[in-house]
Amino acid sequence: MRRIVLFLSAVLLGGLGAALAQQQEPKDKPKDAQAAEPATPISSDDASKRNPVKPTSEGLAEARKLYGFHCAMCHGKDGDGKGDLAGDMKLNLSDWRDPNALAKYTDGALFYIITNGRGKMVGGEGDRTKEEIRWNLVHLVRSFAKKAEEPAKP
């Protein structure tokens, strides 16, 4: 009986030690380097997709509602990249109000990122949101930069 207890205790301690070792970050790697995960390349097929959904006020309203629930916590209410969670996680996100921040992305690339996630944005919307709404999210993200381009009203 004593041998069984000792054996089970050793197995339990070994398992705990292995689990703790996996959770700890390597000490020789700076935290900033860990935050900057390499982005998975988007295939040319995905990047070349064209948005089949025409922008409508109803579609943008539906996308804005979803954005408020799932995206604004990191990307900011108006796409400035300064959401509360982004600040807490010390993420450096693009300001989508700046047209140059979106210029390098095709609609297909934005759709891919919204669908699959990227970097610390795990999961994306692909498994929980209809395709049409995800395309409307592409329109919404693009609209942030368009609002910033509008001249100030007197």
Query: Could you read off the pLDDT of 34-91 as tens digits, one per residue?
Result: 334 446 789 999 999 999 999 999 999 999 999 999 999 999 999 999 999 988 888 8
Indicate whether 24 pLDDT > 50: no
pLDDT of residue 55: 94
Indicate whether 26 pLDDT > 80: no
Are 103 and 93 in contact by the 8 Å Cβ rule? The answer is: no
Nearest residue to 143 (alpha-carbon basis) of 55, 74, 62: 55
The mean of the pLDDT values for the chain is 80
| Nearest-angstrom CA–CA distance, 118 and 47 | 14
pLDDT of residue 71: 92
User: What value does the CA radius of gyration of the chain take, rounded to a whole number of Å?
Assistant: 22
Higher pLDDT, 24 or 85: 85
| Nearest-angstrom CA–CA distance, 7 and 10 | 5
| Nearest-angstrom CA–CA distance, 82 and 95 | 8
Higher pLDDT, 11 or 107: 107
pLDDT of residue 121: 81
Are 59 and 53 in contact by the 8 Å Cβ rule? The answer is: yes
- Enumerate the β-bridge partners of residue 121: 118
pLDDT of residue 34: 34
pLDDT of residue 147: 67
Q: Which domains does the chain have, with CATH numbers?
A: 39-149 (1.10.760.10)
